[in-house]
Structure 1
Amino acid sequence: MTLSPAACIEWLFPQSGPDLSDRVVAAKKAGFNAVEFHLWRDKPMSRIAQALTDHGVRVSSFCVDPRRSMIDPAEHDELVQAVRDSIEAGKALGSPPMIVASGFNVPGMTHEEQHANAIVGLRRIADVAEEAGVILLLEPLNNRVELPLIYLSSTSQALDLIETVDSPNLRLLYDMYHSAVMEESVPGVLEGRMHLVHHVQVADTKGRHEPGTGDIDWDAAISELVRMGYDGAIGFEYLPTLPDDESTSTAKARIGL
């Protein structure tokens, strides 16, 4: 199996400046053939697209913008429009996969009601993604550190939703940092379901810094991914503590890339 690193230029290469097009160049010089970032509406998309073309770099993922809830029916129409707008914006980048999260718990709404609403919301945006030929990545996030009110914090539940919606254009973003914060094990949540995983991101606990700065056993974690058949990008979505090139080279070495 061949895993390939992707640099989250939202956070990495800050010494190259705030313009993400310059960070694309820095990532390429550091040996990355793929980059990713978060929201797009505040980004210089035309300059990013030109930098990608000039340097032979692809985008492994970016976020649907604006973020809207899939568990609150009052936001479903806005969610669909956000996906449509993001698909259009992503064309300049080669139509890469786009990340969606659940949204926050809705006061007065039961977990079961929110789960049912999520299925409806995901089905609607999956239909849009299928029509456009774009992959949507559903990302569960931890509710113990950064996002205490987030609805979808369980990888297993995210996979249940993906299986229920049953769209080839809806897959899982497995963020190993969020999963570790939730005390999940890699095989415990992914065994037998790796075919539903399209992208993986890494950062260490505690602090969400470079792999090797925290508590995750990266040798075991990466070995499990490979054993179960993952063969794709590993997004370096962490907050660096070291100078640009030293940070990414250290992270690559720690997870064996």
Structure 2
Amino acid sequence: MKLSPCIEWLFADQHPNMSDRIRAAAAAGYEKAEFHLWRDKDVDACASALQETGLALTSICVDPRRSMVDPAQHDELLAALTDSIETSKKLGHVPLILASGFTRDGVSQQEHIAAAIDVLKRAATIAEKAGVLLVVEPLNDRIDHPSMFLVNTTLALDILEAVGSPHVRLLFDLYHSQVMGEDLAQVLSGRMHLIHHIQVADLPGRNEPGTGQHDWPFLLKTLTELGYDGALGLEYRPTLPTDASLAKARATLGL
């Protein structure tokens, strides 16, 4: 497994501009990186930095964020997706992240699920034509995202199976999953073909691995046994200067 630093937070202490963070990540020896929203970035400068360094982005978010579970926002979501696809192409056909949106009062779980499946099927058609991958990310509603609908990995994978498109996969964030008390092997066993990317951070605090309570050797051994050999996104808030933080993360993860 190779590491993919989240340069939304990492290298930010040294470089205000995202394009310079791309160069810094490449200079530090990383082949991959990721960030969040793109409308607040200089996309052309980022594209130039990616071409210059050969670094690849593992993911960016569909921007602006809109709800999958509220049909009133579906047209806006698909418009945001269309715009984000053009940005994805500029940046090397980067996978695009979608979160569910918030739970709607007075609406049943089945209605939420049906709305998500409906819009993801429509989004999958758009993504397939563009040759871009969509990744759905369950979050946690206990600490970081109160009232978020999709906080359960099993349900997220059920939705992906119902969508039935190879252009829609899961972004599994180990931090969010652990906050929700999920058992790693239980939720992913037999369903790794639906996982595109995995992100990590320690708990509590969402800081670099080695600062919290995670049993990292056990968690990484479990991922290996499940068959995951993709990138690990270092999506954490550093407690140390970037160089020291990344060194601590690498030592803790043994990667």
In 1, the alpha carbon distance for the partners of 2:246 and 2:126 equals 36
Equivalents in 2 of 1:127, 1:252: separation in Å?
38
Deviations 1:118-176 (A, max 9, x none): 11011111111111111100000001001111000001100000011010000000000
- Please, which moves more after superposition, 105-114 or 150-159? 105-114
Are residue 117 (structure 1) and residue 115 (structure 2) matched? yes
**Paired residue secondary structure (1:14):** coil
Q: Secondary structure at the match of 1:99?
A: strand
Distance 1:228 1:252 in 2: 21
Deviation at 1:43, TM superposition (A): 0.5
Residues 163-219 of structure 1 show CA distances to partners (whole Å, capped at 9, x for unaligned) of 110100000000000000001121011000011100000101101000111111111
Return the TM-score normalized by structure 1: 0.97
Structure 1: gaps of 5 or more residues: none
Total equivalences in the alignment: 255
Aligned equivalents of 1:53, 1:152: Cα separation in 2: 35
Distance in 2 (alpha carbons) for counterparts of 1:36 and 1:233 = 11
Deviations 1:42-90 (CA, angstroms, capped at 9, x unpaired): 1011111111111110111000001010100111111111111100111
The aligned amino acid for 2:154 is: S
Equivalent residue, structure 1, for 2:137? 139
Matches within 5 A, 1:31-180: 31-180=29-178
**C-alpha deviation, 1:25, in angstroms:** 1.3
Instruction: Give, in whole Å, the separation in 1 of the partners of 2:221 and 2:118.
Output: 36
Please, what is the CA RMSD of the aligned residues?
Answer: 0.8
The answer on whether the counterparts of 1:76 and 1:121 sit within 8 Å (CA) in structure 2 is yes
Report the equivalent of 1:27.
25
The equivalences for 1:207-226 within 5 A come to 207-226=205-224
Given residue 235 of structure 1, which amino acid in structure 2 is its aligned partner? Answer: G
Give SS of 1:10's match: coil
Give the letter for the 1:33 counterpart: E
Structure 2: distance between partners of 1:256 and 1:191: 23
Deviation at 1:38, TM superposition (A): 0.4
Paired with 2:12 and 2:77, the residues of 1 have a C-alpha distance of 31
Amino acid at match of 2:204: K
**3-state DSSP of counterpart to 1:15:** coil
Instruction: Tell me the equivalent position of 1:239.
Output: 237
Q: 5+ residue gaps in structure 2?
A: none
C-alpha deviation, 1:226, in angstroms: 0.9
After the TM superposition, which parts of structure 1 deviate over 2 Å for at least 4 consecutive aligned residues? none
* 8 Å contact kept, 1:16–1:22: no
Distance 2:168 2:60 in 1: 15
The Cα of 1:17 is off from its aligned counterpart by 2.1
| Alpha-carbon distance in structure 2 between the residues aligned to 1:105 and 1:27 | 37
Matched AA of 1:254: T
Rounded Cα–Cα distance in structure 1 between residues aligned with 2:60 and 2:254: 24
